[in-house]
Structure 1
């Protein structure tokens, strides 16, 4: 699977694409295998479902202490400079499927990733 990922990087896809997979190990860091078929990005899985990080910052069911924000899976006093504070958690509005383009945006569909702040359907490449 890693060779397939390298080949796709070298060849490129015309649209955002998903790599084929059979389990999460086939996908890169920060990605998960959707329905044992295609890798998707930006998901913390708890009990088999993707969850938002506000109540699951450092792990499933583990929220940050009062006054701290969740930034990249860690509790901190402020968001990293390239992230936006959305109700106490920090998100990249250009890539986050649950806050795509703005804090109050509806989540992207299961077959979409957030690309430059817009929910974009992914093609399966390879």
Structure 2
């Protein structure tokens, strides 16, 4: 006998069809990228270490040994996948301009994060003209 309970997968597929039929883009990988890496405007903090602790704990990234945040506008970051970037391979683009970055590294002795703010070019993986993964900075 088939179960009669809720079917979450069916509801998810129905929601996806409705979004796609409405003409709006549905790009969950880009949304995850923004939640994990984009911090615009930059969150105020007393110093880079306080900044990292606030964001790493606040966004649930505290298990990662290292993580980089981008404190530039989403529009500027999205440009890397179009005319603001140089293609380096399939779906891989390097930014033409530099970005305001903060790299957070876990300090295992203090159970906190050390932060270093810097400006570098970024290399991202793109899908449908939008970044979905920060590969590295150079």
TM-score (norm. length: structure 1): 0.31
Q: Which has the higher contact order (CA 8 A, sep 6+)?
A: 2
More helix by share: 2
TM-score (norm. length: structure 2): 0.29
